Structure 1
Amino acid sequence: MPIHGLSPSQKPVKPAHFDIEQVIRPNILDLHPYRCARDDYKEGILLDANENALGHSISEQDVPNDDPTLDLDLHRYPDPSHDPIKARIAALRSVSGVDHIFLGVGSDEVIDLLMRVCVAPGKEKILITPPTYGMYTVCAQVNDVGVVKCPLELSGQAGEGGTKGRFSLRVDEVKKAIDADPSIKLVFLCSPGNPTGTSISLESIKAILDHEKFKGIVIVDEAYIDFAGQESSAVSLVKDYANLCVMQTLSKSFGLAAIRLGIAIAQPPLIQILTNTKAPYNISTPTAHLALSALSPSSLETMKTKVQTLKTSRSALLKSLAAIAHLGLGSSIGSNEANFVMIPVLSKDGSRPDSVRAQKVYKALAEENGVVVRFRGNEPGCEGCLRITIGSEEENAAVVRKLELVLNEL
């Protein structure tokens, strides 16, 4: 069954064992996407979409005089395709064209759409690798999709590299889980991981993509990739693997969490399926305006400078935390390849990570000292851990100072 809106390709599909038409739910393949007004015409006297021709109703008294959003034709529906944004993303990530890019309302919309188009409710499953991003499980529950858990390597030390070390992917165990359950349609890999801060090697990702018994799609969530380096990105594999989807976002390295723009990078068949299924105007005009500005050459240089500053601050924060380790802090776990660090709080005798004590530290920081970090002690392999986002220089100094105070009091 052909994919609506996709021109037939004569190129052989790689890997040979993958057939996207066997992954996508039949009702989605058969879907005729909603055709919105702006799919046909974008210019002229536009009287086709039942918009308010008199313009928006925001009083100029209620907004700053220099607010540029009032000049964005807010009374018109947005462009449904946003090809200029996609073109800049394609250039940034060295992708061959806009037909490889999908834009969503944050990565969460991409996660939800992938489950909806690929996984039959009540019958099929996804595979996740705890500890990992919690929305995979939440979306699965919303969509009545089963979840198979195959934990990352929880022993050893971080930074051992390659396919070994703490929080690396246990490739053989993932393969065994896939072989034992043919209903697994999607494998979600977070790289660098949240909350692990550790990248999954391209070698490990390729091993799952090449596994002949897996007929589904591997999704690599790269929300933090700019803090690890493009050499770690699975985007380089997209050209060779039709069964790969890479997710990215403007929320982290670009500092645009508020605009909610997520990105999927994959070969055109999967991108077309996502496009056919999404809401007609999912990306708003203000979001698109800000995203296009953020992807301009000058803004990209600013982003890269800020990423480097945060990486330098990350190293400085780790040194400062090590200086108060005698109060009951362990060494950071994970490989510290994101914009946060994971620090275990130890028992009073320093013998082991202590989640009860960590919970007390977490609450005392937030409720008595105005410093909010994230307790992650309930995640596999993260006993006693606090996840601390890299802040400004002043914020990093404050968290160390307040943490020292709280640990002394406990």
Structure 2
Amino acid sequence: MAIHGLSESLYPKKPAHFNLESLIRPNILALHPYRCARDDYSEGILLDANENSLGHSIQPPKTARTELDEIEGLDLHRYPSPSHEPIKSKIAHIRNLPGPAHVFLGVGSDEVIDLLIRIIVKPGGEEKILITPPTYGMYSVCAQINDVGVVKVPLELESTHGEGGESGRFSLRVDKVKEAIDADPLIKIIFLCSPGNPTGTTIALSSVKQVLDYENFKGVVVVDEAYIDFANPSASATSLVTEYANLCVAQTLSKSFGLAAIRLGIAIAHPALVHVLNNAKAPYNISTPTAYLALRALSPESLDLKHNKITILNASREKLLQSFSTIPALGIPIGSNEANFIMVPVLDKNGKKDTDRAQAVYRTLAEEKGIVVRFRGKEVGCEACLRVTVGTEEENERLVEKLKEILAD
């Protein structure tokens, strides 16, 4: 079996007795890796990766000349703490948890996702995870890497009709999830993304509780809340953690905290599950510079700054939605817009969703106008859609201007 995406010229030729393809697990050879936002474009106005466009929310100390001065003063020649209890305690406090025993730290949410699959789901394809497309692509990628099966129960689009076609809020079909569980008792993890990526829609806690309470499901429900701070705080499943030992809530400092570069993910769960995660992780998975910056980001002053930036971004999201409504070739945005991005379909001359035109607009924006958004038009429920991160006021204005130019043709 060929190695997906590798040029024949790069296959190893020495020693003659060594064959890399036969050594690698077949599911890894066949893997189509998750395509991140920077695979195609890395320059210009970057509105494709749902980063915090207003920058990080760390308030610099009055005594330091620069952030680098502080970091250079750390014990970088020593291995970092394996536990980082001060960070966990601060997270427990701001998320209203009983204590740090409920908190696990990973290298981004992706390590949390991968580690949960590795500790719970047996490789071989018989045991499975359940996902609800359209959803975050790394669930399926991690499943394939770990050689576990994937069951798909699509979200349902509660349709509304208007000029620009059909739109609405995505919702979880709990009855369909239960049917899938009954049909396959080897489902071990259910991944629910809330607010969803790319749907921008929160899943009702009542629906989450129905799945958690379903006696036929013996596994763990993972609610991925990477974007929760842009939504109503009452939508967070962290309020259920002390009640349900079969719940794990994944969060991150990448989005609302504006710290995508430091790679700090969080799992909030029953202390028993957190303990197993700690047993299975790499010994020093969180670096000292990352821990330092995370602690600074969790200070009262930085949390105030973060809150102010969320307020600005949410207001900018509403303004951008209004601007999109003035462009005839854009349809009604998909989802309920509870994150820091918008999913909007591109229409043809007759007002129908046009996937080819959406892809062309994506390329033209990036290659000719210097503005990078994300094409999502071939995913379930996202026909002809572009996913647009809310940028700064100037970036949003330039985006709208260039969209009007391109779509005027």
Q: TM-score, normalised by structure 1?
A: 0.81
How far has the Cα of 1:157 moved from its partner? 3.5
Letter in 1 for 2:340: N
Q: Distance in 2 between matches of 1:147 and 1:392?
A: 38
Structure-2 change in CA distance of 1:111 and 1:66 (3 Å): closer
Q: Distance in 1 between matches of 2:212 and 2:225?
A: 17
Superposition map of 1:30-179 within 5 A: 67-122=69-124, 123-157=126-160, 166-179=169-182
Q: Distance in 1 between matches of 2:120 and 2:374?
A: 33
Pick the structure with greater CA Rg.
1
Contact 1:311 1:339 in 2 (8 A): yes
Structure showing greater relative contact order (alpha-carbon pairs closer than 8 Å, 6 or more residues apart): 2
SS in 2 for 1:263: strand
Contiguous gaps of at least 5 residues in structure 1: 1-63, 159-164
Q: Deviations over 1:54-106 (max 9, x none)?
A: xxxxxxxxxx8953211111000001110000000000000001000000000
How far has the Cα of 1:331 moved from its partner? 1.2
Structure-2 change in CA distance of 1:65 and 1:338 (3 Å): closer
Letter in 1 for 2:244: Y
Contact 1:197 1:340 in 2 (8 A): yes
Q: Distance in 2 between matches of 1:284 and 1:267?
A: 25
SS in 1 for 2:372: coil
Letter in 2 for 1:214: F
Superposition map of 1:332-371 within 5 A: 332-350=333-351, 352-371=352-371
Q: Deviations over 1:285-337 (max 9, x none)?
A: 0000000000000000000000000000000011111112x2x1101110000
Contact 2:158 2:171 in 1 (8 A): no
Which consecutive aligned stretches of 4+ in structure 1 deviate over 6 angstroms post-superposition? none
Q: Distance in 1 between matches of 2:401 and 2:350?
A: 22
Check if 1:322 corresponds to 2:318.
no
Q: Distance in 1 between matches of 2:148 and 2:397?
A: 44
Q: Deviations over 1:260-306 (max 9, x none)?
A: 00000001010000000000000000000000000000000000000
SS in 2 for 1:282: coil
Q: Distance in 2 between matches of 1:155 and 1:245?
A: 27
Equivalent in the alignment of 2:385: 385
Equivalent in the alignment of 1:14: none
How far has the Cα of 1:235 moved from its partner? 0.3
Equivalent in the alignment of 1:43: none
Contiguous gaps of at least 5 residues in structure 2: 1-65, 162-167
Q: Distance in 2 between matches of 1:166 and 1:329?
A: 18
SS in 2 for 1:156: strand
Q: Distance in 1 between matches of 2:388 and 2:144?
A: 28
Q: CA RMSD in A?
A: 1.2
Letter in 1 for 2:247: L
Q: Distance in 1 between matches of 2:263 and 2:183?
A: 37
Q: Deviations over 1:373-407 (max 9, x none)?
A: 00000111110100000000000001101111111
Report the count of equivalent residues.
Answer: 337
Equivalent in the alignment of 1:278: 281
Structure having the higher strand fraction is 2
How far has the Cα of 1:166 moved from its partner? 3.3
Q: TM-score, normalised by structure 2?
A: 0.81
How far has the Cα of 1:209 moved from its partner? 0.1
Q: Distance in 2 between matches of 1:117 and 1:303?
A: 34
Check if 1:182 corresponds to 2:182.
no
1:228 to 222, 226, 231: 231
Superposition map of 1:201-240 within 5 A: 201-240=204-243
How far has the Cα of 1:353 moved from its partner? 1.1
Q: Distance in 1 between matches of 2:67 and 2:213?
A: 56
